[in-house]
Structure 1
Amino acid sequence: MTKFLSLALVVIGLFSCSDAVQDPPAPGVARDLAQQRANSVSAVQYDLLLKLPEQVAEPVTGIVSIQLHLNDASQALVLDFRAPVDHVIDVTLDNAAVDYSVTPDHIVIPATSISAGDHAVQVEFRSTDAALNRQSGFLYALFVPDRASTAIPVFEQPNIKARFKLTLEIPAHWQALSNGALVERDTSDSQRHLLRFAETLPISTYLFSFAAGELQMETATRNGREFTMYHRETDVEKLARNRDAIFDLHATALSWLEEYTGIPYPFGKFDFFAVPAFQFGGMEHPGAVWYRADSLFLDPTASRTQELSRASLIAHETSHMWFGDLVTMDWFNDVWMKEVFANFMAAKIAGPAFPDLNLDLRFFQAHHPTAYDVDRTAGTNPVRQDLDNLSDAGSLYGAIIYQKAPIVVRQLEDLIGEEQLRDGLRQYLDAHRFGNATWPDLISILDPLTEEDLQQWSDVWVAATGRPQITAQWSDGGITVRQADSDSARGLLWNQPLVLAVGTAEGVAEYRVQLRYAEAFVPMATATSPRFIFGGADGVGYGRFMLDTQSRSALLESVHDLQNPVQRAVVWQTLWEEVLDNTLTADQFVAALLTGVERESEELIAQQILGLLRHAYWQFLDENARRAVSQELEEILWNALAAASTPGRKGAYFNALVSMTLTEAGTEKLRRIWRGDDALKGLPLQEQQFITLVEALSLRDPANAPAMIDAQEQRITNPDRLARLRFMRPALSSDAALHAAMFASFSDVAVRRQESWVLDAMSAIHHPIRNEASLSLLRESLNLTEEILRTGDIFFPLNWLNATLAGYQSSAAAQIVADYLQANPELPPRLRGKVLQAADDLLRVARF
């Protein structure tokens, strides 16, 4: 057996059958390598043993036996393993020594050493911790999109599905779960137990996972199916309060999806783990779903919006069992497909359980504003993106996939019909079950079901960036609606159904038109000019709906009087777009929002108003303007809190006060609540709310922050929440040296492993209340983004940028961003796009 450890020896050691030298594979998984392997490798099975030590400082080690069939042996056999050379301990082929080389991200067995047919490759290795999320007392693997190979030698690509058989050696007092059911726990060693899990059905490497540690279990049966929830929650009342709802929501989602798809749940058991401070909302490993614990375990003050969000999250992850797990994208350029159908199905599943909520309103609020946040920027991207190397797959994720794409599919459903879409999806899932498919595969199934040209439709909505600019102009006899592409050289036309709301002396009327071309005419009987016109009034239309001067003024004054809640939500978003385009001042908008706080009766819109108020208050009002309005704002919010009829709505107003209070009198009121001197009638605060409150008070009262945090630490009963607050201490201080030292520590990838904590700390360091005192760290924060893209999970780079930039308004900060972009012309295009997305508010408010 020979190990080639230098690049020169690697190149010498790789020969084809014709003795011609082959180039070593590129780092990551290039698409040509993926295509070659997909054509030559099949019938893959992983038999994996991992030894998990209790101490985080000790390494995870393992042995994997990979059974495979090789159809074509003319090329080297390349495994993916993103680890240092010394982490590869031994490699054998068919139980015999074999020549192999270790190149960046790969283990290579030359073509001269292997033949076509069945083989077993065994690798003894040491894992890296990059995707194992190791913490005191527990760990969990998170391999999406391309991180399985940081822990295990595998074929890291979605279209080489495999069966996994896992054995874990763990401390005797730990529990563990994985995709397969636990079939045996060997307790013969009193210190270390051996857990064997059943072999999985074929899944992609990013869907394989496991967790282990000091975990608690709750088991329930619903509709004849057993569910097990693993967790680390120490609040017994919180657990009891949420337990049944969590199991019920899973059972409801499974039953609905089995009916809709016509395919029974395909993966046997259904376990899930409520992960403390999980970096995503959820992750859909079949048989072992991960959730952010706070998203499942709601406080008694949770709003109906939060309850619906939990139901939607559970429905989303459950939908993935069919859309993403059973049928998986062939390559990660189609990752959006699994996300769009999970979100789309979640909206259908969760809604009926909330008959008191307006679901059309919820769909608009959950999708359009966030999609617009990206699509209006210079850094936007299409729904379906190109991908040359799997190492860049993490950069594909974002609001366009999660929020714009469901809008697109809803319009597709309107275009071809609800039953036609369902039947087409059933055919798609059945044709590709336990396999892979592409967007063109689905289009080829749907296209015969409609007279519409779906390929042309897809070229605009799926393959292109941006949104149309839509104007509506009244003239005697009707309204002329025009759409334009902001990129005039491109000249795209977005085919979509459009609803206009027209306000006259008689009231508000809606008019529908199919906007296929650059212009459409809507006849009207009135001979007098309307008070206002706005587009997208049904909450489905997508675009920048421009307001004329008269409509802008009228809607700013009368948005509260619109009877249709969807129309009110659309108008608030449209007025916000006017602020961003500098046709409406932030002062005017904030004044209207404060009136909205006082007058809005619909809880979902009240939440929307509070979100817009926070955004405008911190990012578009300068410090003087904030101080000028702060007393009025706080009084209005306290009055709204007192008048609110439900704990959920009271909690929304209280959270807004915690976020936006600036006056000394308001700060003292919050301080008295935190100390326990005062209580909020009808709003019992929970442990996490007191933690959030002390963090807000620390920013406003830095002199007393250490003592307050000390006192809060003594109150905390949950070890994970206590560890997080201790981590946050330097960021909550007013000492710039502590901020700088904490930021410097983030250059160490090991310190960044707890990503949600790091993001909270960055938000505190760069909080606008500090009046840009951390400006000196801004360029360094941007400089670190490329490394974060390479080493972090999929949402970390954009979240890092948002946490860094959201606190700034000045021209100096905008100049730092501009200088960074100019100095880095070779920045990966998608990362450049994320910088532009995160910096968009700053560049607008600084008029850069």
Structure 2
Amino acid sequence: MPGTNLTRDEAATRAALLDVTSYSIDLDLTTSETTFGSTTTIRFTCAEPGSDTFADLVGAEVHEITLNGRSLDPATAYADSRIALPGLEADNELVVVADCTYSRTGEGLHRFVDPADDRVYLYSQFEVPDARRVYTTFEQPDLKAPFTFNVTAPDHWKVVSNSPTPEPEALADGKAVWRFAPTKPMSTYITAVVAGEYHEVQHVYRGKHGDIPLGHYCRQSLVEHLDVEELVKITEQGFDFFEAAFDYPYPFGKYDQLYVPEYNMGAMENAGCVTLRDEYLPRSRQPRSFYEFRCSVILHEMAHMWFGDLVTMKWWDDLWLNESFAEWACYHAEVEATEFTDSWTGFANARKQTGYRQDQMPSTHPIAADNYDLRAVEVNFDMITYAKGASVLKQLVAWVGLDPFMAGLQQYFKEFEFSNSEFTDLLRSLEKASGRELSGWAREWLQTAGVNTLAPAFELASDGTYQSFAVRQSAHPDWPTLRRHRIGIGLYDEVDGHLVRRTSIETDVEGELTEIPELVGQLQPDLLLLNEGDLTYAKIRLDERSLATGIAGLSKLDDSLARALVWGAAWDMTRDAELAASDFVDLVLANIGSETDAWGVSRIPTYALLAVNQYVAPEKRAAVRERFEAGFRELMLAAEPGSDQQLTFARTFAAVAHTDAAIADLEALLDGGLEVEGLAVDQDLRWLLITALAVNGREGMRIDAETRADNTISGQEHAAAARASRPTAEAKAEAWEIAMVRDDVPNETQRSVVLAFQRVGQDDVLAPYVEKYLGAAETMWEEKGTARASTALEFIFPKQLASQELLDRVDAWLESSSANPAAQRYVREGRADVARALAAQATDAQ
């Protein structure tokens, strides 16, 4: 039985048979607090009259099905999430009357009641295949059609969809109906309905192609945190840039951005109706990296309006292209159009690292994954899709040139507007614009998995110059592809206490060994940096002299992107057990205080914390933890008052605090006994400090007291995380029920508990959960669904209990398990992290 799955072959068969003329969808959001009315009318043609097909609808109570005036019995026609449609005519009309169920897990139509004021908020989330949880669909991206939504709701609500919001028509009993105009042709997954007691602010962007109404929405309890002027500024900068760069006017009329609660994703590119996590409206002070990331999210979703919404992939095989392109485009736009001009540095320090990590997992896959059905899409929708894909597109831009790349995109948008395409269509446009053959490039980069490593290979003459110089390329034996790379090579010398670039070259690398004759005769620099400019996607290695230079004085390097490459190389070498974790910790302690890149400041301490907790040899760990704790206390106190460094160092100090003196400092920060000039102990920092005390079993009555003072959904989520962090058997048992068993817990609360469950230094109370975890992994995917299961299986894996015994137990489970392949994937990934940690510990022990 197919259930909620759909194969690529089934979709292709249905697409060849049908052409969808229109959808008309009537939703009644006033029927109850658990379900809503859904009536769908689909008009479509059939290329082969007399054929059979099916429509999609998940988890509904179907009351009526009418096909071309014929009544179909729901008891027989609706089964296994499909509606059988027999005996089609050339022109068809399907009407389905049903009740659908509100979601509490972020899929379909999510319903949320704000504990701060009991106001109700709804929003839809349909990617990849969840529009069918709200209305009857042909749930595949290549059956585009115009959509007409008619929504009945309480008359004091706001109702927003893909078309401009009309004036509501009053009904009896305090209800009203909003009749939206038909949309442009679009795929089901980018349709949207958002409704509830939202706060609304309207502006208008006046561009060279005409006016675009801009709406911003949030919960009433977050109005004071809606920094709408900044959000409008970024939105207008984005439209200025993209309309010019793509040479195509924004295609969907108006542009609403709605900040919604309990959101599983960062944001979603619904056409003209973008939904975003309302955590992007912070209630407490955040570092610059937060706002840089928020800007990238806003621009990412805007880029999708052209790439994904205007032109849509035929099938989910090319989902990577949607996301990779939007990811590359958002950073490109940030650099060119906003105040965040160093965003590629932040990308290198943070986002790109997630791609490297995912690509070295046993579950790695080509960027262009073989998504033969919807289940494969769910598994392959990861940071290879986003971070590696964007990195590879950056390499493509370096390969063909920015102007030809943009010219190819402009032609592509015009040729495939409001229709569907495949990657070969884009490749053809880029080849035509650039004059370069790209099919070979695509095979190397998109159809193979794994990351290459680039290392310098040279001999020195007696005078200290390079007698020979080459770049050696290697690959993991399981993913042995050696690729063509366009890279920069930078030579840096120490001059007056600074590492200054003497010269740089840009060259192509191909095969195992590429000679670089331009460097022969150059004096060996203090720092040799491969991949200068971060043009390609590859790990780089530092030669012995360059590594010593970096460890001794990385802060002497003024160029932030060059520093990011050195940080990244050192971290890669640590993860690959080539550099002792203790040395990486020392590198961070010595240099992070001088780091200026926002993402470097906020992300690199988390790498160091991982090194302390998992990569340092067990016999050294206590001493290194104390050194790290003391070091970040000093960094916090020495940082400029009110700076990002001060805030990040305070958070890191809290995360590692474990000695009596450090715990006393946390208590004093909370109670006002310790004041650090410029450090505001606001609501979010208070929760972080309380949670740090809870990890150490020193929270007392603070969690309950803080929950009473912070009666918000954020407060409830923080409180749940703090309780899950406590080092007692009772606390872990309660947290396990919330994270892995109960179905009545909101998705974000469950996620908070999952992320807080595994804590360093709690081995005794966590050891029994190894078997419980493996037992739950057998059935969790089917029982809890994709969103909950993936989060739980990834983050409750007991990585901090790293040992050979754990590896052996997991191996035995993997050999015998009949769990869903997606669940097994997360177990394999956890196992890989443990194996990596053990190898790093062995290196650190030497």
- Common fold: TM-score over 0.5: yes
Residue 632, structure 1, aligned to residue 651, structure 2: no
Aligned to 1:481: 471
Q: Residues 441-480 of structure 1 correspond to what in structure 2 (within 5 A)?
A: 441-476=425-460, 477-480=467-470
For 1:286, what is the secondary structure of its paired residue?
A: coil
Q: What's the offset of the Cα at 1:107?
A: 0.6
Aligned to 1:712: 706
Q: What's the offset of the Cα at 1:101?
A: 1.8
Per mean C-alpha deviation after superposition, the further-off stretch among 424-433 and 65-74 is 65-74
Q: Distance in 2 between matches of 1:729 and 1:358?
A: 35
Aligned to 1:3: none
Residue 204, structure 1, aligned to residue 187, structure 2: yes
User: Cα gap change, 1:733/1:518 in structure 2, threshold over 3 Å: closer, same or farther?
Assistant: closer
User: Cα gap change, 1:354/1:324 in structure 2, threshold over 3 Å: closer, same or farther?
Assistant: closer
Q: Distance in 1 between matches of 2:571 and 2:719?
A: 38
8 Å contact 1:447–1:453 — kept in the other structure? Answer: yes
Q: Distance in 2 between matches of 1:356 and 1:225?
A: 24
Residue 700, structure 1, aligned to residue 696, structure 2: yes
For 1:681, what is the secondary structure of its paired residue?
A: coil
Q: What's the offset of the Cα at 1:331?
A: 0.3
8 Å contact 2:160–2:273 — kept in the other structure? Answer: yes
Aligned to 1:133: 110
Aligned to 2:116: none
User: Cα gap change, 1:102/1:746 in structure 2, threshold over 3 Å: closer, same or farther?
Assistant: farther
Q: What's the offset of the Cα at 1:793?
A: 7.5
Please tell me the residue identity of whatever aligns with 2:169.
D
402, 407, 428: which is aligned to 1:418? 402
Q: Distance in 2 between matches of 1:176 and 1:336?
A: 31
Residue 146, structure 1, aligned to residue 129, structure 2: yes
Q: What's the offset of the Cα at 1:643?
A: 3.4
228, 231, 237: which is aligned to 1:246? 231
Aligned to 2:330: 346
For 2:358, what is the secondary structure of its paired residue?
A: helix
Q: What's the offset of the Cα at 1:620?
A: 1.9
User: Cα gap change, 1:749/1:152 in structure 2, threshold over 3 Å: closer, same or farther?
Assistant: farther
Q: What's the offset of the Cα at 1:227?
A: 1.7
Residue 560, structure 1, aligned to residue 560, structure 2: no
Q: What's the offset of the Cα at 1:591?
A: 1.5
Residue 810, structure 1, aligned to residue 802, structure 2: yes
Q: Distance in 2 between matches of 1:258 and 1:504?
A: 43
TM-score, reference length from structure 1: 0.89
Q: Distance in 2 between matches of 1:161 and 1:268?
A: 18
Per mean C-alpha deviation after superposition, the further-off stretch among 317-326 and 601-610 is 601-610
Please tell me the residue identity of whatever aligns with 1:766.
Q
8 Å contact 2:66–2:72 — kept in the other structure? Answer: yes
Q: What's the offset of the Cα at 1:306?
A: 1.8
Q: What's the offset of the Cα at 1:274?
A: 0.8
Deviations 1:203-239 (A, max 9, x none): 1111112122232222223324332222115255433
Aligned to 1:739: 732
User: Cα gap change, 1:97/1:194 in structure 2, threshold over 3 Å: closer, same or farther?
Assistant: same
Q: Distance in 1 between matches of 2:684 and 2:53?
A: 51
8 Å contact 1:131–1:142 — kept in the other structure? Answer: yes
For 2:425, what is the secondary structure of its paired residue?
A: helix
Residue 175, structure 1, aligned to residue 170, structure 2: no
For 1:266, what is the secondary structure of its paired residue?
A: coil
Q: Residues 500-515 of structure 1 correspond to what in structure 2 (within 5 A)?
A: 500-502=489-491, 509=502, 510-515=504-509
Q: Residues 58-137 of structure 1 correspond to what in structure 2 (within 5 A)?
A: 58-83=34-59, 87-98=61-72, 101-111=77-87, 114-127=88-101, 129=103, 131-136=108-113, 137=120
Deviations 1:44-75 (A, max 9, x none): 3221222224864x322321111222222343
Q: Distance in 1 between matches of 2:452 and 2:720?
A: 45
User: Tell me, which stretches of 5 or more residues in structure 2 are unaligned?
Assistant: 114-119, 461-466, 841-846
8 Å contact 2:797–2:827 — kept in the other structure? Answer: no
8 Å contact 1:698–1:732 — kept in the other structure? Answer: yes
Please tell me the residue identity of whatever aligns with 2:347.
F
Q: What's the offset of the Cα at 1:547?
A: 4.2
Q: Distance in 2 between matches of 1:153 and 1:497?
A: 48
526, 540, 543: which is aligned to 1:545? 540
User: Cα gap change, 1:262/1:484 in structure 2, threshold over 3 Å: closer, same or farther?
Assistant: same
8 Å contact 2:141–2:312 — kept in the other structure? Answer: yes
Aligned to 2:197: 214
For 1:220, what is the secondary structure of its paired residue?
A: strand
Q: Distance in 2 between matches of 1:220 and 1:236?
A: 16
Q: Distance in 2 between matches of 1:149 and 1:394?
A: 16
Deviations 1:529-563 (A, max 9, x none): 66664422322232232345555445433433334
User: Tell me, which stretches of 5 or more residues in structure 1 are unaligned?
Assistant: 1-23
Please tell me the residue identity of whatever aligns with 2:814.
L
Aligned to 1:655: 651
For 1:146, what is the secondary structure of its paired residue?
A: coil
Aligned to 2:755: 763
8 Å contact 1:44–1:162 — kept in the other structure? Answer: yes
Equivalenced residue count is 811
For 1:193, what is the secondary structure of its paired residue?
A: strand
Residue 50, structure 1, aligned to residue 31, structure 2: no
Q: Distance in 2 between matches of 1:64 and 1:176?
A: 18
296, 307, 323: which is aligned to 2:307? 323
Q: What's the offset of the Cα at 1:662?
A: 1.7
583, 587, 595: which is aligned to 2:582? 587
8 Å contact 2:777–2:824 — kept in the other structure? Answer: no
User: Cα gap change, 1:98/1:354 in structure 2, threshold over 3 Å: closer, same or farther?
Assistant: closer
Q: Residues 263-282 of structure 1 correspond to what in structure 2 (within 5 A)?
A: 263-282=248-267
For 1:338, what is the secondary structure of its paired residue?
A: helix
Residue 431, structure 1, aligned to residue 382, structure 2: no
Please tell me the residue identity of whatever aligns with 1:610.
P
Deviations 1:484-537 (A, max 9, x none): 33237x752211112334566887553433102332112334487666644223
8 Å contact 2:738–2:750 — kept in the other structure? Answer: no
Q: Distance in 2 between matches of 1:182 and 1:454?
A: 44
Identity %: 22
Aligned to 1:234: 221
Please tell me the residue identity of whatever aligns with 2:86.
P
Q: What's the offset of the Cα at 1:298?
A: 6.4
Q: Residues 381-400 of structure 1 correspond to what in structure 2 (within 5 A)?
A: 381-400=365-384
Name the Cα RMSD after superposition.
2.8
TM-score, reference length from structure 2: 0.89
339, 353, 359: which is aligned to 1:375? 359
Q: What's the offset of the Cα at 1:832?
A: 4.0
8 Å contact 2:38–2:134 — kept in the other structure? Answer: no
8 Å contact 2:216–2:228 — kept in the other structure? Answer: no
Please tell me the residue identity of whatever aligns with 1:711.
A
Q: Distance in 1 between matches of 2:778 and 2:143?
A: 29
8 Å contact 1:25–1:33 — kept in the other structure? Answer: no
Aligned to 2:669: 673
828, 836, 839: which is aligned to 1:844? 836
User: Cα gap change, 1:727/1:54 in structure 2, threshold over 3 Å: closer, same or farther?
Assistant: farther
Please tell me the residue identity of whatever aligns with 1:400.
I
For 1:446, what is the secondary structure of its paired residue?
A: helix
For 1:33, what is the secondary structure of its paired residue?
A: helix
User: Cα gap change, 1:785/1:141 in structure 2, threshold over 3 Å: closer, same or farther?
Assistant: farther
Q: Distance in 2 between matches of 1:659 and 1:807?
A: 17
Deviations 1:431-465 (A, max 9, x none): 11111111111112212333533111100101100
